[in-house]
Structure 1
């Protein structure tokens, strides 16, 4: 007879957070994928540049907590689509600054509107106070 494992996977916070993240991102994912053929890392790079302006890939890695290889691939794909440009730093040739092109800016503005609407739709499942608490708790967890 085998002993029942008392570990409750369904209540394990990392598991719950991953499940919530995956489920809540599926509808938004279909929009940026269907309209622009983008992968998750590509829209995240696009949004970092849209929100913060000119950045290096390293800065995006640090802000997004994504691996540099994934960022590098996303940058290459966005550049191929002419959504961003690269500009070498005159003083440090190893450094490249990334910036949205007009086409990249237009895609960002459109997807930002969709993201804001989607965020509001997700928030409807909670009271205003619950949404505030959820955002604070998730922000706190992200900084641990």
Structure 2
């Protein structure tokens, strides 16, 4: 039987994932903040709108699994900077869709190559087969988490 005294936090999967995620986010955040004045939530919103376009804030929450409050603050900041605009949904006037402005598209286009380069630098630690395995394992863990009841948009660390 394992006791609380035997619990090695540094070997606990959620803790390890959190530490790696926090280190990664801090590295990326420094680059985005220094060069573009963006926070990580702002970049994630910009990136997901750039990828999928026409999402509502709720759609951003679902795609990013970020907390609703963080998404709301990021959207507000991007709107204030003129990087995003709201558009009324044609089918449902109560829904506001987010779209990148010309300035938002230009910023997104400038950041993507830098993000890819930073990612490539990080992934240099893994062989190509290990990278494929990592992606497959993360997909399986995400599917299992969703099956266990973790839902996109639940409050939690971003």
TM-score (normalised: structure 1): 0.92
Structure 2 contact 28–40 (Cα < 8 Å) conserved: no
Structure 2 vs 1, CA of residues 86 and 4 (structure 1 numbering), >3 Å: closer, same or farther? closer
User: What is the RMSD of the two structures over their aligned residues, measured on CA atoms?
Assistant: 1.5
State the 1:4 CA deviation.
7.6
Answer 1 or 2: higher relative contact order, Cα 8 Å, separation at least 6: 2
Aligned length: 142
Which residue is 1:74 aligned to? 74
State the 1:24 CA deviation.
2.1
For residues 1-144 of structure 1, what are the structure 2 equivalents within 5 Å? 5-143=5-143, 144=145
Separation in structure 2 between the aligned mates of residue 52 and residue 4 of structure 1, nearest angstrom: 45
| 4+ runs deviating over 6 angstroms | none
1:76-103 CA-partner distances (Å, limit 9, x unpaired) = 1000000010012244232001000111
Give 3-state SS (helix, strand or coil) of 2:15's partner. helix
TM-score (normalised: structure 2): 0.84
Gaps of 5+ in 2: 146-158
Gaps of 5+ in 1: none
